[in-house]
Structure 1
Amino acid sequence: MLFLIELWESVREFIATGGFVLYFVALALFLMWILMIEKYWFLTSVYPKMKRDIIARWEARTDTTSWYAHRIRDAWISEAAEILDARMLTIKTLVAMCPLIGLLGTVTGMIAVFEIMAVQGTGNPRLMAAGISMATIPTMAGMVAALSGVFFSSRLDGKVKMAKAKLVDSLPHH
């Protein structure tokens, strides 16, 4: 329990040092990871059953060679592809937004530095250092959040593309 309290205190100090923009970085990071975990779960537990059902429906058809049968096959593949692609654009958007939110923190931190300089002058480096820290920490946090998402979202995108390709290959096209 003491560990959790110490952890919470260090997070609070970090946010106090970086400013309110870190809450937005944390929110984007949280949403991004929730969506990625949900997509990994879908690909490993829900989609295989869905794929088996589509393959079973295709194999149960007596007509698999007519133009009409091929349109049904294409429709099933298209529906599965749409479900597989769901939320991938949102994940990629959140990954791209993290550095931009960090840059917003840079701007707000620099505004704080300029306000301090306007009121106190340039003679107090300690006050200016706090503002500069407030400017750099959100940028760093946004970049780290984006880097954590880039690798996994790229990997997830590859898994989705592979799942679509395997589904197409699983439905023979006579």
Structure 2
Amino acid sequence: MMLQLIELWESVQDFIHTGGNVLYIVALVLFIMWFLMLERYWYLKAVFPKEKKAIIARWDAREDTTSWYAHKIRDTWISEATTKIDQNMLLIKTLVAMCPLIGLLGTVTGMIAVFDVMATQGTGNPRTMASGISMATIPTMSGMVAALSGVFFSSRLEIRAKREKASLVDSLPHH
């Protein structure tokens, strides 16, 4: 088991060495993005149902549910819950959009390395040019893979958040 972990770590190190230091940035953004998405899933699955029940109980306990004042209280509670549901959603979308851009940064740094090799050694050394080209393509691929995973799961998360908001509105009848 320990040997497998060491081999896995070495292959990750080789991948990062081949792709350049930009892969550290892609990995950091990917980690933050997934941490936020998992936190939102946990909130919608475990925390929000309890908060929703509490809001419904407070609404049902009210004697006045028909006046203008009661409707404003209802709207305030819905707005507060919506704000909690939407927390970090914009940040998640921003991180998803940043992943391909960070990959493109890796492309630029890799191409700079290729041009640097060409300037110092000429075009006669294809091996060093190939390492620069792989340094240019691997971050692009990594950024795209990170963005694709984020796009799929963040859109599912957004659909679930919309469903929860609509469910809360439907659970608080206004007469």
Q: TM-score, length-normalised on structure 2?
A: 0.99
Residue equivalent to 1:129 = 130
- Aligned positions of 1:151-170 closer than 5 A: 151-170=152-171
SS at match of 2:124: coil
> Structure 2 CA distance, aligned partners of 1:151 and 1:135?
25
Partner of 1:39: 40
Q: Deviations over 1:62-96 (max 9, x none)?
A: 00000000000000000000000000001000000
Which position in structure 2 is the counterpart of 1:65? 66
Q: CA deviation at 1:40?
A: 0.4
Question: What's the CA shift for 1:171?
Answer: 0.2
Distance 2:82 2:55 in 1: 12
**Equivalent position amino acid for 1:147 in 2:** L
Whichever residue aligns with residue 51 of structure 1, its letter is: K
Runs of at least 4 residues of structure 1 off by over 6 A?
Answer: none
The root-mean-square deviation of aligned C-alpha atoms, in Å, is 0.3
Aligned-residue offset at 1:6 = 0.4
d(CA) in 1 for partners of 2:112 and 2:45? Answer: 47
Name the CA distance, whole Å, in 2 between partners of 1:148 and 1:4: 24
Deviation at 1:99, TM superposition (A): 0.3
- List runs of 5+ in structure 1 lacking aligned partners: none
**Which amino acid in structure 1 is aligned with residue 139 of structure 2?**
P
Separation in 2, partners of 1:94, 1:138: 16
Give 1:80's aligned residue: 81
Identical aligned residues as a percent: 76
Q: Distance in 1 between matches of 2:110 and 2:121?
A: 16
Structure 2: which 5+ residue stretches go unaligned?
Answer: none
Q: Output the amino acid matched with 1:138.
A: P
Aligned residues: 174
Q: What is the rounded CA distance, in whole Å, between the counterparts of 1:54 and 1:170 in structure 2? A: 9
**When the two structures are superposed, what TM-score results if normalisation uses the length of structure 1?**
1.00
